[in-house]
Amino acid sequence: MSAGLQSSPRDLSGNRLTTLSWQLFQTLRLFELRLERNLFNCSCDIRWIQLWQEKGEANLQYQELYCMNMDAAIIPLQEMNITQCDLPEISVSHVNLTVREGENAVITCNGSGSPLPDVDWTVADLHSINTHQTNLNWTNVHAINLTLVNVTSEDNGFLLTCIAENVVGMSNASVLLTVYYPPRILTLEEPVLHLEHCIAFAVHGNPAPTLHWLHNGQVLRETEIIHMEFYQQGEVSEGCLLFNKPTHYNNGNYTIVATNQLGSANQTIKGHFLEKPFPESTDNFVSIGDYEVSPTPPITVTHKPEEDTFGVSIAVGLAAFACVLLVVLFIMINKYGRRSKFGMKGTCSHLPLAGGTFQDCPALIAHMERCCGFIPTLSVLVQSLLKRMLSSPLLFVETVMEIYRLVVLTCMCFCWAEVCMCFPYQYLTASTGCPEEL
């Protein structure tokens, strides 16, 4: 028989074989097995050949095979009748076993049949510590327990297989082991420029974790410029945080956060894309927001104290002269304002003139702006100039000239407390009332 196996592994015809074990072909994938011109002994040992012939395996259904029974009669193999000689039956306690990492689990496999099969678990590549315990419950049942201790995430998806074997053949049953464990960051790399800048990452966890990012400790909202792309391969999520033309504003620390029902994990990487356009200190730069804008900024004039008493006397005298001049102007306006030829006409007639003064300053200013082109800030400017004049007698002449140009070219305005007098220049020189345009 050995010579026949060596000479032709797939063609065993004419080798005077009386028995043959299926285990010789257990690891082979046979398309055809030739067994003709062999006279087998009718026994349980060749029951597997009869079963293969019935199923049409290895092309045995087209071959004429014979065996010799206990009466020395040669009969076709298909007619052989052997009792208590069948394939083993197998059952397992779980079809799918789900455990958390670090837990223990026990699985039971039962093999039955006649002849009584040998039962065992195939755990050669299993990482979790395991023990086997065999129990013979009855004469025709062989049970074996597999105990998993401190189950590790490396065994997630492992297919536990129980095998029952006898002379007739083999039966097996499988249990899928699912291990739940919290997320873990496998890799997180610094930004690399491909078509876009990419922070590559790989995360695994079961159940598959949800992912989000932080930028300098703040939640990063994905946009068209910054977004995440990844794909799921088993329990591993691999992908990139992509940047489309980032600037120095995108520099900083990027943290990936992975979360599932069992926990969370995070890891941080520094991303540097561009240098600041002005890397030097910005202490000398002034921001507009640092100052409060005012319509009448105070004018501060710094001058050295003048020790010349003669110059001071002249300045005081000029100031007094200016005050007298303003009083004279006030009297003249009050006097001529009472005459009917200066009365309001047209669109100006509805504002009463009381003693040459307008009592309602806001209404007057609004009216003057509409009717005569009056600038609302004119009185404010005059007040500012007067303050500057009074703060320094030496600036009297310059200030008087500015007031003169302001009054003559635009309007004459005098405001004190809540009483304000404002007359357009043309109003003082015309006899027909206020013009429509300045």
HSE toward the beta carbon, residue 350, CA cutoff 13 A: 6
Same domain, yes or no: 195 and 265: yes
Query: What percentage of the chain reaches a pLDDT higher than 90?
Result: 35
What digits encode the pLDDT tens for the residues 61-75?
Answer: 888 999 999 888 999
Give the pLDDT confidence score for residue 161 in this predicted structure. Answer: 93
Checking if the pLDDT of 338 tops 70, the result is no
Instruction: Let me know if residue 293 belongs to a domain.
Output: no
Q: In whole angstroms, what is the distance from residue 377 CA to residue 294 CA? A: 13
Question: What pLDDT band is residue 140 in, cutting at 50, 70 and 90?
Answer: confident
Lowest mean pLDDT among 14-18, 100-104, 182-186: 14-18
SS3 of residue 382 by DSSP: helix
Domain boundary among 180, 213, 243: 180
Domain boundary among 79, 111, 136: 79
| Amino acid present at 104 | N
Question: What pLDDT band is residue 326 in, cutting at 50, 70 and 90?
Answer: confident
Checking if the pLDDT of 261 tops 80, the result is yes
Instruction: Kindly report the CATH number assigned to the domain that includes residue 70.
Output: 3.80.10.10
CB 241 within 8 A of CB 198: yes
Give the pLDDT confidence score for residue 314 in this predicted structure. Answer: 80
Same domain, yes or no: 30 and 56: yes
Q: In whole angstroms, what is the distance from residue 331 CA to residue 333 CA? A: 6
Checking if the pLDDT of 4 tops 50, the result is no
Instruction: Let me know if residue 318 belongs to a domain.
Output: no
Same domain, yes or no: 96 and 74: no
Same domain, yes or no: 174 and 245: no
Q: DSSP characters for 257-274?
A: EEEETTEEEEEEEEE---
Q: What is the mean pLDDT of residues 325-354?
A: 54
Instruction: Specify the pTM.
Output: 0.55
Checking if the pLDDT of 200 tops 60, the result is yes
Q: In whole angstroms, what is the distance from residue 126 CA to residue 152 CA? A: 10
Give the pLDDT confidence score for residue 277 in this predicted structure. Answer: 80
Which of 1-10, 88-97, 408-417 has the largest mean confidence? 88-97
Give the pLDDT confidence score for residue 242 in this predicted structure. Answer: 93
Same domain, yes or no: 350 and 261: no
Same domain, yes or no: 417 and 345: yes
Question: What pLDDT band is residue 103 in, cutting at 50, 70 and 90?
Answer: very high
Domain boundary among 271, 290, 306: 271
Query: What percentage of the chain reaches a pLDDT higher than 70?
Result: 65
Checking if the pLDDT of 172 tops 50, the result is yes
Closest residue by Cα to residue 15 from 31, 1, 29: 1
Checking if the pLDDT of 375 tops 50, the result is no
Instruction: Let me know if residue 244 belongs to a domain.
Output: yes
Instruction: Let me know if residue 438 belongs to a domain.
Output: no
Question: What pLDDT band is residue 234 in, cutting at 50, 70 and 90?
Answer: confident
HSE toward the beta carbon, residue 366, CA cutoff 13 A: 4
Q: In whole angstroms, what is the distance from residue 26 CA to residue 169 CA? A: 9
Instruction: Let me know if residue 360 belongs to a domain.
Output: yes
What digits encode the pLDDT tens for the residues 295-308?
Answer: 545 545 444 444 45
Question: What pLDDT band is residue 180 in, cutting at 50, 70 and 90?
Answer: very high
Residue 174's contacts (CB-CB under 8 Å, 6 or more residues apart) are 92, 159, 160, 161, 162
Q: How many domains does the chain have?
A: 4
HSE toward the beta carbon, residue 335, CA cutoff 13 A: 6
The larger pLDDT score, comparing residue 331 to residue 148, is at 148
Q: How far is CA 81 from CA 2, 44, 165, 380, in A?
A: 28, 9, 21, 125
Residue 20's contacts (CB-CB under 8 Å, 6 or more residues apart) are 12, 35, 40, 45, 46, 49
Checking if the pLDDT of 135 tops 50, the result is yes
Q: In whole angstroms, what is the distance from residue 152 CA to residue 105 CA? A: 12
Question: What pLDDT band is residue 48 in, cutting at 50, 70 and 90?
Answer: very high
| Positive/negative CA dihedral, 363, 365, 369, 373 | positive
Q: What is the mean pLDDT of residues 274-294?
A: 54
Checking if the pLDDT of 258 tops 90, the result is yes
Q: In whole angstroms, what is the distance from residue 340 CA to residue 158 CA? A: 111
Residue 355 structure tokens: 């003693």
Give the pLDDT confidence score for residue 352 in this predicted structure. Answer: 39
Checking if the pLDDT of 309 tops 90, the result is no
Checking if the pLDDT of 325 tops 90, the result is no
Instruction: Let me know if residue 283 belongs to a domain.
Output: no
Checking if the pLDDT of 1 tops 90, the result is no
What is the DSSP code (8-state) at residue 11? Answer: B
Lowest mean pLDDT among 25-29, 193-197, 270-274: 25-29
Lowest mean pLDDT among 30-39, 106-115, 339-348: 339-348
What is the DSSP code (8-state) at residue 37? Answer: T
Checking if the pLDDT of 50 tops 60, the result is yes
Q: What is the mean pLDDT of residues 109-135?
A: 84
Instruction: Kindly report the CATH number assigned to the domain that includes residue 143.
Output: 2.60.40.10
Q: What is the mean pLDDT of residues 9-28?
A: 84
Give the pLDDT confidence score for residue 97 in this predicted structure. Answer: 94
Instruction: Let me know if residue 315 belongs to a domain.
Output: no
- Helix, strand, coil abundance in the chain, percent, nearest 5: 30, 35, 40
Instruction: Let me know if residue 125 belongs to a domain.
Output: yes
Query: Which range of residues forms the domain containing residue 250?
Result: 189-271
Checking if the pLDDT of 334 tops 50, the result is yes
Q: In whole angstroms, what is the distance from residue 256 CA to residue 272 CA? A: 16
